[in-house]
Amino acid sequence: MTLDEITISRAIISDYMHTLLEYMEMDVAIVGGGPSGLVCSALIAEKGYKVGLIEKKLSIGGGMWGGGMMFPRIVVQSEAKRLLERFNITHSEFSPGYYTARSIEAVSKLTTAAVDAGVEFFNLTTVEDVMVKGDGRLSGLVINWQPVEATGLHVDPLTIRCRMIVDATGHDAVIAHYVSKKMGKPDIKGEGTMWADNAESAVVTHTKEVFPGLFVCGMAANAVSGGHRMGPVFGGMFLSGESAAVQILQQL
Ligand code: 48H
Ligand code: FE2
């Protein structure tokens, strides 16, 4: 065949514009494509709900690509071993209860699981505000192209409507901060010092609805509720993503 550049360009614009229009309204919007957001999105989408994952960076994976101090390995403890198996992530036991996995494989397998479950990805897209109307419930997200934010351009955003929103933005708990600043709650306690054991159990407990329509999971959950940090052990991120999915599925 003879390739036509304009047809290629039309195909890309048409396909993505169609998807954007379709996802102006969705069941669940996950903000942040790190481990907790990926797990959460896959487990909700596999039940047949319309799930979009919004990630400001070019690539999905958040803080998991880098493993620990750029050694591309993660540690997962026994409590989350079943999720390594669930997502077919190769792992080996280092010492009783401590499993190592390749960070790049872990990101890839979680991403594949989310894609296969039907999650639609919107990368290079920044959530810059939230929509709360008369009913006092978080009902939408204000989005913009990430390069607009990065270059400081004064370009107004667009808005999408969602039944539930998950703040999976990691240490910064970006969405919870927006809501807190404008609505006076949730109260944000901030992240504590390194204390892996405490942090890993707390992150699951802190995974909850913190404002009507807004769930937090992953590091964002500990940042909101004053939990500690845990370094490159990722079982809590997997379990937190799962817990957010279970709680949201009960409400949908
Ligand atoms: C769109 C955004 C926005 C925005 C941020 O940091 P993450 O990997 O998040 P988690 O919670 O799933 O995993 C945390 C883990 O990676 C980690 O840092 C751990 C375990 N640390 C322990 C320690 O002691 O340090 O991913 C969050 C994602 C990133 O990809 C951001 O780019 C994205 O959210 N994001 N996307 N709009 N406004 N803000
Ligand atoms: Fe981190």
CB neighbours of 64 closer than 8 A, spacing ≥ 6? 34, 35, 74, 103, 106, 107, 234, 237
What are the pLDDT digits (tens) for 3-61? 999 999 999 999 999 999 999 999 999 999 999 999 999 999 999 999 999 999 999 99
CB neighbours of 156 closer than 8 A, spacing ≥ 6? none
What percent of the chain has pLDDT above 90?
100
Write out the residues surrounding ion ligand 2, Cβ under 5 A: 63
pLDDT, position 199 = 98
pLDDT, position 110 = 98
Domains and CATH numbers, the chain: 26-251 (3.50.50.60)
CA neighbor of 113 nearest in space, from 92, 89, 90, 91: 89
Round to whole Å and give the CA distance between 149 and 101: 34
The pTM of this model reads 0.98
pLDDT, position 201 = 96
Count other C-beta atoms under 10 Å from residue 150's C-beta. 11
Determine the distance separating the centroid of ligand 1 and the alpha carbon of 155, expressed in angstroms: 25
Protein residue with least CA distance to atom 6, ligand 1: 170
| CB contact at 8 A, 106 and 234 | yes
Determine the distance separating the centroid of ligand 2 and the alpha carbon of 171, expressed in angstroms: 7
Protein residue with least CA distance to atom 33, ligand 1: 32
